[in-house]
Every structure is written in C-alpha cells, then in structure tokens.
C-alpha cells in the first residue's frame, strides 16, 4: 500500500455556491463531475457534438476555472479537470466504478435519507 490518498472524482455540492443552495433550499445533495470539455485533455473528445462556437464560449472558463496568472494559459482547476478526463479515457470501467463508489459514499454520509444527484459539467 502506497499510503497516497486517491483524489476524489466528484466535487461535493457543499463546496460549490450554486449546488450548496440546492442542499439548503431543497435538501438535495449534488455531486459534480468536472471534466475537460471537448478534446482539451488531449486524449479524446468528451463533447462529440460540440461546435467551434460552444467550445470558444464553454463554461469551463467561467468562474475560478477561467482565472489565470499573468502569462499563463492554464491553472490548477483546468489541470485537475484534464487529469480526470485522462483517467476516464485510460480505463472507463475503473472510472465508472470510482464514480459509483463515491455516490454510495455520499449516500452513506447522509444522517437522514435525502436525494443525491450527480451531474456532469465542464
Ligand atoms: S461542455 Fe458544452 S459548451 Fe463546452 S465544449 Fe462541450 S458541448 Fe461545448
């Protein structure tokens, strides 16, 4: 055993301002899977129906994901999204298994039954 912790694939809803509202208002916990859109991860295309227009204005660059230090074209958020996307293309079955495990772990964290949803976004 290496002792290294595996980084979670999902971002917890409580860590995101919009999904935190869902938790508070509707008691729905949301898990967000942030991937790199289209072919930005350099290993395949997760947006096979994307257009030049949507790629140019993609939400992947909204919010903190679009904040870069002067002279840089990427940041830690974009790089983590690329890592996840590469992990998906490297072994899809293992990736889906990890998602499944994280969804069940989220359900176990509930002190009382409430809906949990998972969604994908760039
Ligand atoms: S996530 Fe949506 S907007 Fe962004 S490139 Fe993919 S299809 Fe286009």
32 touches ligand 1 (CB under 6 Å): no
Q: pLDDT digit string (tens) for 65-119? A: 899 999 999 999 999 999 999 999 999 999 999 999 999 998 888 766 566 677 7
**Domain extents for the chain?**
10-38+48-111
50 touches ligand 1 (CB under 6 Å): yes
For the record, the structure tokens of 32 come out as 């967000």
Q: pLDDT digit string (tens) for 5-57? A: 789 999 988 888 888 888 788 778 889 999 999 999 999 999 999 999 999 99
The string of DSSP letters for 28-87 reads -EEEEEE---TTTTSS--S-TT--HHHHHT-GGGSGGGG---TT-S--HHHHHHHHHHHH
111 Cα: distance to centroid of ligand 1 (angstroms): 36
Best residue among 32, 60, 66, 121 to mutate for probing ligand 1, ranked by most atoms within 8 Å of CB = 60
35 touches ligand 1 (CB under 6 Å): no
Cβ atoms 12, 6 nearer than 8 A: no
Q: Which atom of ligand 1 is nearest to the CA of 55?
A: 5
Return the pLDDT at 10: 95
Cα distance between residue 17 and residue 64, in whole Å: 12
Best residue among 32, 36, 51, 55 to mutate for probing ligand 1, ranked by most atoms within 8 Å of CB = 55
């Amino acid at each position: 055993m290496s002792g290294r912790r595996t980084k979670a694939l999902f971002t917890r809803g409580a860590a995101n301002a919009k999904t935190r509202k869902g938790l508070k208002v509707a008691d729905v916990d949301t898990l967000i899977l942030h991937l790199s859109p289209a072919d930005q991860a350099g290993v395949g295309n997760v947006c096979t129906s994307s257009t030049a227009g949507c790629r140019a204005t993609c939400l992947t660059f909204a919010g903190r994901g679009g904040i870069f230090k002067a002279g840089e074209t990427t940041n830690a958020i974009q790089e983590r999204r690329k890592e996840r996307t590469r992990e998906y293309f490297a072994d899809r079955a293992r990736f889906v298994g990890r998602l499944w495990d994280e969804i069940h772990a989220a359900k176990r964290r509930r002190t009382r039954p409430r809906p949990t949803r998972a969604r994908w976004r760039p």
